[in-house]
Amino acid sequence: MNKYIKWILGAAVLVFVLVFPFIVSKAYHMHIALMIGIHILLALSLNLVTGYCGQLSIGHAAFYGVGAYTSALLTLTFPIPFWVAFFIAAIVSAFFGLLLGLPTLRLKGAYLVISTLGFGEIIRLILLNWIDVTRGPMGITGIKAPDSIFGLDFANKTNYYYLMVLIIAIVLILMRLVTNSRTGRAWIAIREDQLAAEVMGIHLAKYKLIAFVASAFVAGFTGSLYAHYVRFISPDTFVLSESIAVVIMVLIGGMGTLVGPIIGAIGITYLLEALRDLGQWRMVLYGLILFFCAVYLPKGLMGLYNYALIKIKSKREASVVKANEGGI
């Protein structure tokens, strides 16, 4: 019964996602949908490190930025197609993930968070001050849209939307495979109890590095997707508040689940747009939401959902037991 509902719900979501461009008419709505797509990818990638492996990172915008700049600069300086730049951006970003992962292997809690923050700031300051290459605060303009495949022109928002949906779908399938594999289980073990995981023979350094590198890889090509969609990048996008926004998405949706970060990314991006009339007050509200979610909803909306499921189940079992007792 429960399984059927899940399948029906999944199919409904899929149909909605596919017909979405035909429902909405304004370019603005398509833009929001594309930004939601970018945020879903960012939240999913952070989720590997923070949600599954339990290593809180607030420098995630750095990988996103490295990916965006790598891809933009490559396609502007060399005559290479977008798809090559897309993968190079991911690989360069993954290398930076290794660079952050190595020195922070031994750290946890506050130490880890502060060093990821420091890493994010260093990258931002380099983007801002290395003017010869990055053009500093002016940013990079004139980035091309991805090359068309099968005659699909990606300067068109609707086509870009389907490209994004396809990439998110591939990422989701891969993540599902990885998190259900030996690697994913090792991450969860590390998150739950590092010492116990080590005693069980899990190679901590190896699995933590895999998490950092995989997460940076995904964030890297997300940066590339962003750069070639907006076609203008500047260091202002890849700041601490962006990293924090991604953390909030993962936290509110539910860490360590695949659906949670998606719900979080959609919810937060939509909420921030919907509350635009409130001006600065929406950021005030945002801070309060973060505080209350951290304190009272540490497992996010998915946690709440699972909690409700367990409650319903135990109630049902209790009533079955009662009925049986009555029968005797």
Neighbours of 248 (CB within 10 A): 21
Q: Is 208 in the site for other proteins (CB under 8 A)?
A: yes
Q: Is 307 in the site for other proteins (CB under 8 A)?
A: no
Binding other proteins by CB under 8 A: which of 84, 95, 121, 303? 121
Q: Is 199 in the site for other proteins (CB under 8 A)?
A: no
String of contacts with other proteins for each residue 221-250, x by CB under 8 A: -------------------x---x--x---
Q: Is 306 in the site for other proteins (CB under 8 A)?
A: no
Amino acid at 154: F
58 or 218: CB nearest other proteins: 58
Cα–Cα distance between 265 and 250 in angstroms, integer?
7
Q: Is 284 in the site for other proteins (CB under 8 A)?
A: yes
100 or 262: CB nearest other proteins: 100
Q: Is 204 in the site for other proteins (CB under 8 A)?
A: yes
Cα–Cα distance between 285 and 217 in angstroms, integer?
32
Are the beta carbons of 59 and 243 closer than 8 angstroms? yes
Binding other proteins by CB under 8 A: which of 105, 259, 271, 275? 105
Cα–Cα distance between 301 and 307 in angstroms, integer?
10
207-221: buried (b, 16+ CB within 10 Å) or exposed (e) per residue? bbbbbbbbbbbbbbb
Cα–Cα distance between 222 and 231 in angstroms, integer?
14
Binding other proteins by CB under 8 A: which of 114, 172, 230, 275? 114
Cα–Cα distance between 126 and 172 in angstroms, integer?
32
Binding interface with other proteins (CB under 8 A): 54, 56, 58, 103-111, 113-115, 117-119, 121-122, 125-126, 129, 194, 204-205, 208, 240, 244, 247, 251, 280-281, 283-284, 286-295, 298
